A = this chain, B = another copy of it.
Amino acid sequence: MRLFVAGDIIGKPGRRALRYMLKQYRQVVDLVIVNVENAAGGFGITKKVYEELKSMGVDLMTSGNHIWDNKEVFGFIDEVDDLLRPANYPDGVPGRGYGIFEKSGVKFVLINLMGRSLLDSNLDNPFKTFDRIYQEVSKETNIILVDFHAETTSEKWAFGIYADGRASLVYGTHTHVPTADQIVLKHGTGYITDVGMSGCWYSAIGMKPKEAIERFLTGIPQKYQVEEQEDVVFNGILVEIDPFTGKTTAIERLQRYIKREELLGVL
């Protein structure tokens, strides 16, 4: 089972990079998952952007702390079953955090979790939330995918090792920078600390650098805006999972700088 996974999609440039890549990859992979917490103008997601992503061929969407930035999400998150928010948001929060899905005749689970370290102390324990969900779903399938949306590398690696042998794949999102530590762990779990964002490369992790620099120079809060150069970058991973064992057999980074001209030719 071949997966195409993208990290945080940053606004329009991110969606353009994704569309470009899916033109090439959609037909040759079984499953496409992307993180949409910054998909609409850098802040959250709207119904329109959700539809746009579906039309490109995205199968499933995960998210993170920014999913609530655009209030429109409260209007449709409970009506769709392919858009997740972290499962360790407390009971009663709109949306769902995991699901059992089927693709190409293979049943699998996708779980979205969020780290707490230096990020948000108001969530439930992601390690224990995983245990609980695993307990429930592991009778159904041995293919278990986890988007672990977190800030610190220590929480991400600790979780990867914690889930090693139970999850098929643990990939990180949220820092917007791809890491070069993809690996198949000791007990068969594919792991990478962060898939990285898709959007404009010469930027403050996808946003215009001016405001970020201003913040660090002055301490005055700034309004951030998506960077909008015409060249874009895609960051993702390609993962091969053995449908019988549920183990990852290969995990590789997929990074592509896409020039304006290339985009024009395709989109």
For A155, the chain B residues whose CB sits under 8 A away are 216
* Contact (Cβ within 8 A) A218 B90: yes
- State which of B152, B202, B218 has its C-beta within 8 Å of the C-beta of A89: B218
* CB of A145 to closest CB in B, whole Å: 21
Within 8 A of B (CB), among A192-220: 193-194, 196, 201-205, 209, 212-213, 215-220
Query: Does A185 have its Cβ within 8 Å of any Cβ on chain B?
Result: yes
> In the complex, what residue of chain B is closest to A88 when comparing beta carbons?
B219
Query: Does A161 have its Cβ within 8 Å of any Cβ on chain B?
Result: yes
A153-B176, A179-B180 in contact; A122/B218 too (CB < 8 A)? yes
> In the complex, what residue of chain B is closest to A67 when comparing beta carbons?
B220
For A80, the chain B residues whose CB sits under 8 A away are none
- State which of B90, B118, B151, B213 has its C-beta within 8 Å of the C-beta of A219: B90
Report A206-249 CB contacts with B as 1/0, cut-off 8 Å: 00010011011111110000000000000100000000000000
The dominant DSSP class at the A interface is loop
* CB of A84 to closest CB in B, whole Å: 15
What CA separation (Å) do A183 and B202 show in the bound complex?
9
Report A151-187 CB contacts with B as 1/0, cut-off 8 Å: 1111101110110000000000001111111010110
11 A-B contact pairs sorted by A residue (CB < 8 Å): A68-B221, A89-B220, A93-B219, A117-B216, A120-B121, A122-B216, A124-B125, A127-B213, A158-B209, A158-B216, A161-B213
What CA separation (Å) do A215 and B65 show in the bound complex?
13
For A162, the chain B residues whose CB sits under 8 A away are 209, 213, 216
* Contact (Cβ within 8 A) A215 B122: yes
For A119, the chain B residues whose CB sits under 8 A away are 121
> In the complex, what residue of chain B is closest to A181 when comparing beta carbons?
B177
Within 8 A of B (CB), among A62-89: 68-69, 89
